[in-house]
Amino acid sequence: MKMKKLGNSDLDLSPIGFGAWAIGGGDWQFAWGPQDDNDSIAAIHKALELGINWIDTAAVYGLGHSEEVVARALKTAPQRPYVFTKCGLVWDEKREVTNSLKKIRQEAEDSLRRLEVEVIDLYQMHWPKPDEDIEEAWSVMAELKKEGKVRWIGVSNFNVSQMERAMKIAPITSNQPPYSMLNRAVEPEILPFCEKNNIGTINYAPMHSGMLTGAMTKERVANFPADDFRRNAKNYQEPLLSRNLAVADFLKTIGERHGVSAGVVAIAWTLHQPAVTAAIVGGRSAKQVEGVIPGATFRLSEGEYGEINDYLSANLA
């Protein structure tokens, strides 16, 4: 497994990391439905056993629960991975989530407590909202780094102008954008800017929240739990649903040549982009992790990459 350095940091990352969004469980605004904590812990252990060396979570995932599950997994983990988390989404006693950049220091302390670690390896501002608070918030992030509470600081979902504003205060180690063949908005400006400025990119949703795994069906979508956020996502509704499932079927034909799944091909497609350092891949069970772990080593040929892009150009216009 070939490691790649994350931006200006000293972190050498495995090509995929364990994404801990879904293991936050259900009963909150952006849940993936109910989740068994023991399955989550087994998934994390399997990922680490198979060579994954970083976990990406966030305070808001499960309203603190994902971080607590990660902490439980680390206590019996085969080795200590890098632990990344995020701030900037807060919740109230009614479990309602809002954007706020005013409580980052307190959020960091709370994440350190829930994760049961002395330092966070990468601390990321989850969203640049409210936009007018970016400078003040990034200054606090820089202070946390100087104090040794976090090793490196990054952003998530930032555009170029927002990154330029933050860089006037302190260097950015990484940006975490969504990036998949169904969401290529970062290609024209954001990825080139990050590459030019030595800002690492760890993309989330390379399989578009499960759509491109090859295991998604219309029946499965129709039976999503009530608290699965994907029920209301536009790419999971017609007419896009049929179009997207056809993309996954096409990826299966590529994967069959190599004995890998459509999801692994989808991950490899994002990793083919030179600006991408590594991809975040979720796993809700050890079996799911085993299914996607080839994404850490499988790579598309230039011909196959072009073949996929030709298909996308013809069918996703």
What rounded mean pLDDT belongs to the chain? 96
pLDDT at residue number 200: 98
Region 133-137: what's the mean pLDDT? 98
Higher pLDDT, 203 or 79: 203
Q: Where are the alpha helices (DSSP H) in 168-261?
A: 190-196, 218-222, 240-256
pLDDT, position 27: 87
In a domain, 249, yes or no: no
d(C-alpha 288, C-alpha 80), whole Å: 21
Mean pLDDT over 29-45 rounds to 94
> So what's the pLDDT on residue 138?
98
- Residue 84: beta bridge partners? 56, 122
Task: Please report the pLDDT score of residue 78 as a whole number.
Answer: 87
pLDDT at 231: 87
- Could you report the per-residue pLDDT of 250-302, keeping only the tens digit for each? 999 999 999 999 999 999 999 999 999 999 999 999 999 999 999 999 999 99
Residue 144: predicted pLDDT: 98
- For 71, counting Cβ atoms within 10 Å of its Cβ (0-12 exposed, 13-18 middle, 19+ buried), the class is middle
**Residue at 223 is within a domain:** no
Range of the domain at 111: 4-210+276-301
What pLDDT is recorded for position 86?
A: 98
Number of domains the chain contains: 1
What are the CA-CA distances from residue 127 to residues 22, 104, 156, 157, 313 (Å)? 18, 12, 6, 6, 30
Mean per-residue pLDDT, 71-80: 95
* Residues labelled catalytic: 61
Q: Is residue 308 part of a domain?
A: no
What pLDDT sits at residue 182?
Answer: 96
Residue 316 in domain? no
Q: Give the tokens for residue 254.
A: 């590529």
The candidate with the shortest Cα–Cα distance to 158, out of 140, 144, 137, 142, is 137
Q: Give residue 32's pLDDT.
A: 87
How confident is the model over 235-245, as a mean pLDDT?
Answer: 94
| pLDDT at site 283 | 93
In a domain, 199, yes or no: yes
CATH of the domain at 128: 3.20.20.100
DSSP H helices, 149-259, are 160-167, 190-196, 218-222, 240-256
What pLDDT was estimated at residue 281? 97
Q: For the segment 171-207, what is each residue's pLDDT rounded down to a tens digit?
A: 999 999 999 999 999 999 999 999 999 999 999 999 9
User: What's the pTM value of the predicted model, to 2 decimals?
Assistant: 0.94
- Structural domain includes residue 203: yes
Q: Is the pLDDT of residue 317 over 80?
A: no
**Quick check: is 255 in a domain?**
no
Q: Which residue has the higher pLDDT, 229 or 58?
A: 58
Residue 145 · residue 151 · CB < 8 Å: yes
> What is the mean predicted confidence (pLDDT) over 304-314?
97
Please report the pLDDT score of residue 227 as a whole number.
84
Classify residue 314: in a domain, yes or no. no
Quick: pLDDT tens for 48-70.
999 999 999 999 999 999 999 99
Instruction: Tell me the three state secondary structure of residue 11.
Output: coil
- Measure Cα distances from 46 to 40, 85, 240, 261 in Å: 10, 20, 34, 18
